[in-house]
Chain A
Amino acid sequence: MSSILEEIETKIAGLKTSTTKSNVGVVRETGDGVARIEGLSDVMLNEMIEFPNGVFGLALNLEETEVGAILLGDNVKISEGDEARTTGKLLQVPVGKELLGRVVDTLGQPLDGKGPIKSDTFYPVEKIAPGIIKRRSVSQPVQTGIMAIDAMIPIGRGQRELIIGDRATGKSTIAIDTIISQARLNKAAEEGRLKDHRPLYCIYVAVGQKNSNVARTLGVLEKEGAMPYTTIVSAPASDTATNQYLAPFAGASMGEWFMDHGMDALIIYDDLSKHAVAYRQVSLVLKRPSGREAYPGDVFYLHSRLLERSARVTEAAGGGSVTALPIIETQAGDVSAYIPTNVISITDGQIYLETDLFYQGVRPAISVGLSVSRVGSAAQIKAIKQVAGKVKLDLAQYRELAAFAQFGSDLDAATKARLDRGQRIVELFKQKQYNPLPVELQVAVMWAMQNGFLDSVPVERVKEFQNKLQDFLQTRKESLLSAIRERKELDAELGKDLKAALEDFVASKPVG
Chain B
Amino acid sequence: MRVSKEVRQIARELLHASFTDNQLDPGRVASVVDSVMSKRPHNCIKILDYYKRLLRLEVEKRHARIETATPLAPATGSEIVSNLKKRYGSDLTSEFVVNPEVLGGMRIRVGSDVWDSTVRNRLERLQQQL
Contact = CB atoms under 8 A, between A and B. Distances in A.
Interface stretch (A15-23, A254-262, A378-386): A15-23
B106 to A, nearest CB: 9
B64 to A, nearest CB: 14
A25 B112 contact: yes
B130 interface: yes
Interface residues of A, number: 22
B112 A24 contact: yes
Contact of B126 (A11, A24, A39, A65): A11
Nearest to B111: A41
A21 B117 CA distance: 9
Contacts of B126: 11-12, 15
A287 B116 CA distance: 34
B112 A23 contact: yes
Contacts of A21: 113-116
Contacts of A12: 126
Nearest to B113: A23
Interface residues of B, number: 20
B56 to A, nearest CB: 9
Interface string B88-130: 0000000000000000000001011111110001100110011
B8 A64 contact: yes
Contacts of B57: 38, 65
Nearest to B60: A39
A42 B116 CA distance: 17
B116 A22 contact: yes
Of A15, A19, A41, the most chain B CB neighbours within 10 A belong to A19
A348 to B, nearest CB: 41
Nearest to B116: A20
B40 interface: no
B115 A65 contact: no
B16 interface: no
Given A8-B130, A287-B2, A15 B111 contact: no
Contacts of A25: 112
Nearest to A25: B112
A23 B54 contact: no
A18 B53 contact: no
Given A11-B129, A24-B109, A287-B2, A19 B115 contact: yes
Nearest to A15: B122
B111 A39 contact: yes
B53 A65 contact: yes
B111 to A, nearest CB: 6
A12 B125 CA distance: 10
Interface in A249-303: 287
Interface in A1-57: 8, 11-12, 15-16, 18-25, 38-42
Contacts of A20: 115-117, 121, 125
A15 B105 CA distance: 13
B122 A18 contact: yes
Contacts of A42: 112
Nearest to A37: B112
Contacts of A64: 8
A55 to B, nearest CB: 13
A23 B114 CA distance: 6
A19 B125 CA distance: 12
B102 to A, nearest CB: 13
Contact of A65 (B54, B113, B121, B125): B54
A11 B129 CA distance: 8
B49 to A, nearest CB: 12
Interface string B34-57: 000000000000000000011001
Contacts of A19: 115-117
A40 B122 contact: no
Interface string A44-83: 0000000000000000000011000000000000000000
A447 B99 CA distance: 84
A221 B111 CA distance: 54
A192 B111 CA distance: 66
A271 B116 CA distance: 46
A20 B118 CA distance: 9
Contacts of A8: 130
Contacts of B111: 39, 41
A23 B111 CA distance: 9
8 contacts: A19-B115, A19-B116, A20-B115, A20-B117, A21-B115, A24-B114, A39-B60, A41-B112
Given A11-B129, A21-B114, A42-B112, 18 more contacts: A8-B130, A11-B126, A15-B126, A18-B122, A19-B115, A19-B117, A20-B117, A22-B116, A23-B113, A24-B109, A25-B112, A39-B60, A39-B112, A41-B111, A41-B113, A65-B53, A65-B54, A85-B114
**Interface pairs A-B: 8 shortest CB-CB:** A19-B117, A41-B112, A39-B112, A15-B122, A23-B112, A22-B114, A24-B114, A20-B116
